[in-house]
Structure formats: C-alpha cells, structure tokens
Structure 1
C-alpha cells in the first residue's frame, strides 16, 4: 500500500510540475517540466533519503566513534532494531539544540534514523529509546518511502513556484503569477493528503511495543514539544516541506508552521500512550529522571 501511494504521489507531483511549466513557457515549458519531473521522480525514488539527510545537516555516527554518548546511542538503536526484527539502520545526528528526530529510507534495508543533539542532551536514555522505537516503527510500517519522496518533491515544487513567480511574469501575466503562487500551498496539501496523521498514532503504538514502555515515549513527546517551541531548528525552517518527517513539528510558527503541519496534537498522542501503558499494567508514572553520570548525565 505504501508503494502504491508513493506512485500516486509521484504522478500528482509530475502533473503540478507540468502545469507550472505550461504557465511559464507554454507547450515547450510543459515538455521541459515533464522531462525534469521524470528525472526527479527517478532521483527521488533512489536518492531522496540522502538528499533529506544532507538538507537537514545530518552527520553519520561511525561505528567506532569515541564519543560515549553517540556510541551508546548507536548501540541502543541496534538493540531496538533487533527487538523489532529489522536490519540495523544507519544512525545520524543533527547539530541543533532543538530536540527532535526522524527516519528516512525507501525500505528497511536502506533505512536511516537521525536525532538532534538537543534530543540527546535533553532526554533520558529511556526517553531516547522511546523516540527511536517510534522512528523504527515508521521504518517497519514502510512510511519512510512516502515521507521521504514527499519531502523532496514538495520542496522542489515550492522552489519552482517561487522561480516561476519572479521569472515567468512576461509569459503568465499578473493572473498567471497569482495562479503560480497557489502551487506551493497545493504542494503542502499533497503532503497533508499523502502523510496521514494516523501514521503517527500507529508509529507511537508500535514504538511503545518495541521499547517495552509507552511512558518513555509519552514523556519524550512532552519534552520535545516544549523544546521545539523554545528552540529553532534552522534546517527545518529553511525546508518546511520536510517538517512532516520529524516526530514532532520542528517549525516554530513562522507562517509555514500551519501550512505544512501534519502532526496530531501531542496531548492526544500522550493520552493514547498513557492508556496503552494502563492496558499493559505499567504504572502511570513519568520516565526515570536523567542520570547524574554516564552518556545521558
């Protein structure tokens, strides 16, 4: 189902590309846009995960890293992947104080997970495990292909619309320019249609099963939301079409926040996780406090 949704998404994005090409350059512009879109579709299928990681400033954590926090982080991701029955993904870190994380990759064999330094510094080790389990659930549910391709193509359409607005006025005229301005919100609408909010609840539930304690993720989500409001993620601000990939909305409300928001309410997610903990017989208590020593001290 995820692959079929991705093909539909690629077709829709191609149609928007061709429409913008027609407004800018007529039939010739539409033909050029089709060729560009076809090339982008092939590129997005095979390389969008690498592009997303690069655009978000992610750096891979090497297996033999000397940093004790990153070494423990990598080991914990490997244990969680084993618990989920998944191949070990590549592990990345993003140097920004905002706590957040995402997963990418076209399939479980080519998956990667990324966490910000803010997440590793702010959360306890148990809470980080809950977040990574959530991201591995996206990998297992094969959400990452659609999420990654959507991020790449929606961002490209937004840039193309802006380019057309400034350089296509001779051909399109004022009304055409106004019409072109509509395509960026259309791209955002496609993001919202392609990325169902229900996937976050599903990943929360499966992630809680993988790590073994829904309260770890519940506590992490509350901390992440507070941190996301207090800290700016410059990579997400520059590429708002990629915001849906993060576990929590990384945008701080500068206009694009509402346009590209695909995240359900954190309070609702936490409530669902606490109910799940009750059903599992786990005490409704907060996750352990940060330790005074060790990688997460």
Structure 2
C-alpha cells in the first residue's frame, strides 16, 4: 500500500500546485480554462494512446500460431494476475526492452522488442512481461494521464501569465508582483514536471513488486533488469531516440543519452530496483534454472 499512498500523496501535491499557482497566475477563470484545455488534450491522448504509441514504434501484432510458447506464457501470467489476455506485439529493435499500453485492462497491450526475445532467458522474459502486466492491472496509463493533465494545465497557466501580463483572465492583479510572477512562470511548470516524474518512478517500483508476485520469483525480473541496463548502453534504440516522449513507457529508459538523468529521470535507478526485488526473494530457495534462448530463428515456436 505504500506505493499507492505515495502516488496519492504526489497527486495531491500536484493538485495543490495547480490550485495555488493557477490562482496566482491566471485567477479563477484562467484556472478553469487551463484545466479544460489540458483535460481535452490528454483525454484524446489517453483514448488513442495505444494505437499512437504502437504505430510510432512500428509494432507488429504477434499471432498465437507464430509464437505459441510466448503466447501461452503471457496467457498464463495474465490469468495469474486476474487480467484478460492482452494484445501482443513485437518491435523490431535490437535493444532489449518492452512496454505496456492501453486505456484499460480490457484494452491492454504488451510490446516486446526482438532484442528482448533473443537475449533473455525464458524466465527473464516472464519477469518482464509480469512487470508490464502489473502496469495494466494498476491502470498506470490512467494515473499518468491524470498527472499529465495537471502538469499540462500548470504549463498552460504559465502561458496565460505571459499573455495577460500577470493580471489573469479575470482582471485581478498578480499578488506576487513582476518578480514573483517571473519566478512562478519558471518554477511552477518545473515543479510540476518533477512531481510528475516522481509519480512515474513510484509506479515503476509498484509494478516491480506486483510483477514479482505475478511471475512467482523476484529474481527473474531482477536478472532481466540487470541485463536490460547493460544492453541499453551498447545498443541504440533508433525509434525511441526519434520519439523520446515515449521513453517513460518502457521498462527501462531506452535512450542512450544521460541528460540530467538523476533529476529528470522517469525511471528509478536500476540498481535500486534490483536491490528491492532481491529483498523480496526467499533467501533459502535456490534459483530456478534458466532456459537459455537465442540462436534459433524463432525460439518461441
């Protein structure tokens, strides 16, 4: 429950930021206009996000007869998670990675890079799929849409501040003065972005925890994360580099650059994620033997 409480607390902080900064910059009318505009934009994005992001990454549907073992694995994990079978997609990228999308569990989709299927053991793939199913079960797409709506509304309020010179749409003068207005215009959207990213990181920890429960062994996901972090440093994901706005969807950041990662990262440090997962593993139980994959034309047939 700590992950849910942390998310709720951060959402409350984001809401308080919107109310406080919004009233100071745009007044009551400005707050309403910004919120409605942000809601409209993000509602469209939420409703179409699955189709848009899958198209951006040239994801190809996987039919059950094409990879029956993979399909059976995902079906088993989804049943264990209490979810309907998600749509399965493959992305032809050498960098191992994966993401989930869909506005509801009934519309859930899991996309796996070919590099993941080629370089990971079957247990590690199961750990990654379980993590993505956890995102679907937790409705993280909806949660991140709400945070994007509030953060976007704060950004729009900052633009209103420039347009109306700090007087607001209701004609009320900004109480902080010109210097205070400039600080609000800079600090407000930045603070909203940091809170938004903190929520994203919190959801990753929660998906790791639930994913470990779904697959049955935290070490599978921990081992996968270790490999994912290693390979992402040497294999460039060209599609993700061309669409950096989708980086937060992946199980690990697919971008090769490390632009202020510690401050503006949408993912927690991989080392910390591995440490938390290993803390969940039963110390007395020996690790299950992994089934090495790769080499075959379709190892999942």
With normalisation by structure 2, the TM-score equals: 0.70
Judge conservation of contact 1:196–1:262 (CA < 8 Å) in 2.
Answer: yes
Judge conservation of contact 2:90–2:111 (CA < 8 Å) in 1.
Answer: yes
CA distance in 2, matches of 1:159, 1:277: 42
Give the Å deviation of 1:145: 2.0
CA distance in 2, matches of 1:7, 1:204: 20
RMSD over equivalenced CA pairs, Å: 4.4
SS at match of 2:88: strand
Quickly say closer, same or farther: Cα 1:255–1:77, change in 2 above 3 A.
same
User: What runs of 5+ residues in structure 1 fail to find an aligned partner?
Assistant: none
CA distance in 1, matches of 2:192, 2:245: 8
Partner residue of 2:38? 37
SS at match of 1:113: strand
Mark the structure with the bigger radius of gyration: 2
CA distance in 2, matches of 1:223, 1:89: 25
Partner residue of 1:128? 125
Residue 117 in structure 1 maps to residue 120 in structure 2: no
Quickly say closer, same or farther: Cα 1:291–1:92, change in 2 above 3 A.
closer
CA distance in 2, matches of 1:10, 1:30: 14
Give the Å deviation of 1:36: 2.5
Partner residue of 1:97? 94
Give the Å deviation of 1:289: 2.7
Partner residue of 2:49? 49
Q: Pick from 263, 266, 284: which aligns with 1:262? A: 266
Give the Å deviation of 1:235: 4.2
Judge conservation of contact 1:213–1:282 (CA < 8 Å) in 2.
Answer: no
CA distance in 2, matches of 1:113, 1:282: 30
Q: Pick from 64, 84, 107: which aligns with 2:81? A: 84
CA distance in 2, matches of 1:235, 1:104: 17
Q: Show the 5 A alignment for 1:133-144.
A: 133-144=130-141
Aligned residues: 285
Deviation string, structure 1 residues 23-51 (Cα, Å, up to 9, x no partner): xxx9998876454323224324x515326
With normalisation by structure 1, the TM-score equals: 0.71
Q: Pick from 195, 200, 209: which aligns with 1:205? A: 209
Which structure carries more relative contact order (alpha carbon 8 Å, separation 6+)?
Answer: 2
Judge conservation of contact 1:243–1:260 (CA < 8 Å) in 2.
Answer: no
User: What runs of 5+ residues in structure 2 fail to find an aligned partner?
Assistant: 167-177
CA distance in 2, matches of 1:16, 1:251: 34
CA distance in 1, matches of 2:13, 2:85: 28
Judge conservation of contact 1:119–1:128 (CA < 8 Å) in 2.
Answer: yes
CA distance in 2, matches of 1:42, 1:106: 10
Quickly say closer, same or farther: Cα 1:267–1:51, change in 2 above 3 A.
same
CA distance in 2, matches of 1:222, 1:176: 45
Judge conservation of contact 2:93–2:115 (CA < 8 Å) in 1.
Answer: yes
Quickly say closer, same or farther: Cα 1:169–1:33, change in 2 above 3 A.
closer
